Amino acid sequence: MNKEKVLSEMRPHEQALRYLFSDVQYLKGIGPAKAKVLKESGIQNVLDLFFHIPRKYLDRTQITPIGELAEGTVATVVGEVVSFGITGRRARRFIVNLQDDSGSLELVWFSGYKYLTDLFSPGDILAVTGRVGVYNGFQISHPDFEIISDRDDEAIHTRRIIPIYPETASLKRIGLHSRGLRKIIRPALDNLEQIKADTLPESLRREFGLLELTKAISQTHFPDNFKSAEEGHRRLAFEELFYLELLLAARQIKRTTQESGISFPRPKVLGRQLLDNLKKIYGGKFQLTNAQKRVLGEIYDDMAKPHPMNRLLQGDVGSGKTLVAILTMLGAVEAGYQAALMAPTEILAEQHGYAIVKLLEGMNIESVVFTGSISSRERENALKNIANGRIKIVIGTHTLIQEKMKFNKLGLAVIDEQHRFGVAQRASLSAKGQHPDILVMTATPIPRTLAMTLYGDLDVSVIDEMPPGRGAIKTAFVPLEKRTGLYEFLRSEVKAGRQAYIVYPLVEESEKSDLKAARESYERFSTEIFPELRLGLIHGKLKGTEKNKVMDDFRKGYIDILIGTTVIEVGLDVPNATIMIIEHVERFGLSQLHQLRGRIGRGKNKSYCFLLSDRNLSEDSEKRINIICSTQDGFKIAEADLAIRGPGEIMGTRQHGLPELRVANLTDSYILGLARKSAFAVISDDNHLLKPENHLLREVLIRKFSNKIKYSKTA
């Protein structure tokens, strides 16, 4: 590209960037008070405001006079409020009487109208959309409506396709409901139209047939028709994903070309000793699955390279990820380094510690579980021996990143259950060594598109094979009226020598909920239902030592039925446990249900997972139950969960040090694929975006992600 042409184009782009990334408080109609609330909602600057896209649209292109309404049609009317109030004794309802020059209309709410009683004033102008009924005249029940302050407002609130925005109570309180947002977005867009610049190069827009920025924003917020709204969305979604992938590509290049790490030799001794121990435990029958062998090869090859490993280890529940992680840690130990494993909960840290001590028996490798529950004396002793290098493997929670924790020679950091840690915590653990290798493990599979986005700068290894000898799990929904028979089945299994879990979603009774808490149910089960059996209780409010005692008793078979909350979902590995009853299943997400179910089916006997709830379920709850009953494939379940809940809710994107996606939907793998391919191609050709034609990309990237740069390696 001609350098002079590029330079000549910079000025409007720079002007546009200054405007787009300027503080939102300086826009007309906002000011400091409203800006504070907007910023709490993630809208920091003008560009954020433009990317706060409508959640739906109302078609108000045709305004129908009230006198011309027809029963059964969906219509939009604009009229004046004549009167309003609550009527009826038994069947109470809220009615607003509306009129225009051609006639009158009743708006009716049968429920949920408390907030409306102080909303209207006689003389208010309303724009109303809904299905027309007839009951002593025209009537619309529970309409979509907006109060228009005066007739001049009709230009942006009526006679067009109208955007309806996501609203929060705090935004509504300061007048930034859909109508208020339209009133500030319109003049902000007018300002941008005067600059006539873009945040994507013309070459990219042309290659993928994308609208110019100003037109895309205009058609997203004030579309000419529904097709043009889709085109606007497509452009903004591409931009959002493209810059995110550009950041990830830059991170990957930085890691693989600039940072010098440890080049580990391929381990020869300790791994073989561990596998010999496993054969003793399993009576000579143990062997790694082909998938575990393949993944270990990928990890060892990566560890041998001169730059730091940054690898994501994916696998279904029970696929053997932990064993792979332990073998990886032994590779670091054999080379003379220390290894750390950071888990999100004390229960999981203790479970890892228990497994490691058992597996490393006789290998003369000192390890420690370092959590908040250990005594002061144990803590001081552990800190001393970690600092002098005597302790080779350290397992813990966020305690591993406290200031007093000093490693002698940290070579590998394993981070389990990635999505529960903030990016700063992960960066802090990495900073405990000199560019240590990083291995991230996920609890359950992550959908491919989500993994590409959240972990786009990590290399990925997938264990896609389950170990042999696992019993099948039958999963079934059981309505509440059949629970007595279910309890009898559980009793018969326990009397046959098996163990069981009963899981509740809460620790104790909530004032706003009729859920039975684990504590109360434990008392009922102990005294009324299973008085002859040995029951245990575990929940998040127990002290660490108490949790460990309960888990150890269950592991040793001293407890027949373990009743608990979702703390059961990770950390317990008891092959003899073959039954799980999940109470109030409608309160659990798909991924959580799959993770819970993974606590059973770990031995050779057939296992049963029963989902207990009322028959009156929401559509989403029914979907989740049908999916979990139909498959044990964690990758299929993860994709379904993404479709139902969306990416932000599944993984908590902010925890990853990545921005919340405002426009893009990660179920659209096509746009993500285009954005990713383009971004990685750009960075591959120009690592630092220093070429003149990439000046714009560099400027936008820096402005978008300046606060993310400090965590560029481990995010």
Q: Structural domain boundaries of the chain?
A: 3-56+188-225, 62-159, 270-463, 473-651
Q: Which residue has the tokens 């600057």?
A: 45
Which CATH code of 3.40.228.10, 2.40.240.20, 1.20.1090.10, 2.40.50.140 fits the domain covering 62-159? Answer: 2.40.50.140
Q: Tell me the average pLDDT across 626-642.
A: 88
**Does this chain's domain 62-159 share its CATH topology with 270-463?**
no
Mean pLDDT of all residues in 170-194 = 86
Q: What single DSSP character describes residue 659?
A: P
Is it the case that residue 690 has pLDDT exceeding 50?
yes
pLDDT exceeds cutoff 90 at 486: yes
Would you call 612 helix, strand, or coil by DSSP? strand
Q: Which fold has domain 270-463?
A: Rossmann fold (3.40.50)
Instruction: Assign domain 473-651 to its CATH architecture.
Output: 3-Layer(aba) Sandwich (3.40)
Looking at per-residue pLDDT, the higher value among 401 and 409 belongs to 409
**pLDDT confidence of residue 2:** 52
Highest mean pLDDT among 193-197, 373-377, 616-620: 373-377
Residue 531, pLDDT > 70, answer yes
Which one is predicted more confidently, 381 or 149?
381
Compute the distance between CA of residue 674 and CA of residue 681 in angstroms, rounded to an integer: 11
Indicate the range of 126-130, 287-291, 511-515, 577-581 predicted with least confidence.
511-515
Q: What is the pLDDT of residue 704?
A: 85
Top-ranked range on mean pLDDT: pick from 113-127, 239-253, 319-333: 319-333
Q: Return the top range by mean pLDDT from 142-156, 415-429, 445-459.
A: 445-459
Q: Where are the alpha helices (DSSP H) in 59-201?
A: 154-157, 169-173, 178-195
SS3 of 9-48: HHHHHHHHHHHHCCEHHHCCCCHHHHHHHHHHCCCCEHHH
Which tokens sit at 521? Answer: 């149910």
Q: Which residues pair with 438 in a beta bridge?
A: 310, 413
Predicted confidence band at 112 (pLDDT cuts at 50, 70, 90)?
confident
Burial 163-177 (b: 16+ CB within 10 A, else e): bbbeeeeebeebebb
Sheet hosting strand 499-503, strand order edge to edge: 473-479, 607-613, 577-583, 499-503, 561-564, 535-538
- pLDDT band at residue 525 using 50, 70 and 90 as cut-offs: very high
Work out the burial of residue 483: count CB atoms within 10 Å of its CB; fewer than 13 is exposed, 13-18 middle, 19 or more buried: middle
Share of the chain above pLDDT 90, in %: 43
Asked if residue 513 has pLDDT above 60, the reply is no
- Over range 204-220, report the average pLDDT: 95
- Helices 590-597 and 619-630, packing angle to 10 deg: 30
Q: What is the rounded average pLDDT of the residues 212-234?
A: 94
Confidence of residue 510 (pLDDT cuts 50, 70, 90): very low
DSSP letters, 102-141, are TEEEEEEESSS-GGGTTT--TT-EEEEEEEEEESSSEEEE
Give the rounded percent of residues in the chain with a pLDDT score beyond 70.
88
Residue 156: what residue type? Answer: I
Q: Give the pLDDT confidence score for residue 157 in this predicted structure.
A: 58
Backbone φ and ψ of 466, nearest 5°? -90, 150
Distance, CA of 241 to CA of 385 (rounded, Å) = 46
Q: For the whole model, what pTM was predicted?
A: 0.68
pLDDT at 538: 87
Q: What is the mean pLDDT of the segment spanning 91-102?
A: 89
- Of residues 210 and 58, the one with the higher pLDDT is 210
pLDDT tens digits for range 614-624:
887 878 889 89
Residues 6+ apart with CB under 8 A from 533: 491, 494, 560, 561
Amino acid at 413: A
**Tell me, what's the pLDDT at 659?**
56
Question: What is the mean predicted confidence (pLDDT) over 373-385?
Answer: 92
The pLDDT of residue 92 is 83
Q: Are the beta carbons of 76 and 58 closer than 8 angstroms?
A: yes
Q: Which residue has the higher pLDDT, 294 or 603?
A: 294
pLDDT tens digit sequence for 559-570? 999 998 766 656
According to the model, what pLDDT value does residue 258 have? Answer: 65
- Which tens digit of pLDDT belongs to each residue from 50-83? 999 998 887 777 888 999 999 999 988 888 899 9
d(CA 600, CA 568): 11
Instruction: Give me the residue label for tokens 């799980």.
Output: 580
Burial of 30 (0-12, 13-18, 19+ CB in 10 A): buried
Query: Strands 437-441 and 410-416, how do they pair?
Result: parallel
Widest CA span of the chain, in angstroms?
93
Distance CA(308)–CA(318), nearest Å, equals 28
Share the mean pLDDT of the chain: 84
pLDDT band at 709 (very low <50, low <70, confident <90, very high): low
Crossing angle of helices 321-334/290-303, nearest 10°? 30
The CA distances from residue 186 to 46, 53, 168, 221, in Å, are 12, 13, 20, 8
Average pLDDT value for residue range 309-326: 90
Rg over alpha carbons for the chain, rounded to the nearest Å, is 30
pLDDT of 6 > 50? The answer is no
pLDDT tens-digit profile of 450-459?
776 666 667 8
Give the list of residues 6+ apart from residue 395 with CB closer than 8 angstroms, or none. 340, 341, 343, 349, 352, 353, 356, 367, 368, 369, 370
Q: What is the dihedral of CA 384, 388, 394, 398, to 10 degrees?
A: 60
pLDDT at res. 614:
86
DSSP category for residue 598:
T
Give yes or no for residue 462 having a pLDDT over 60: yes
pLDDT given for residue 708 in this prediction? 55
CA distance 120 to 83: 9
Residue that the structure tokens 């179920």 belong to: 667
On the CB side of 174, how many CA atoms lie within 13 Å of its CA? Answer: 18
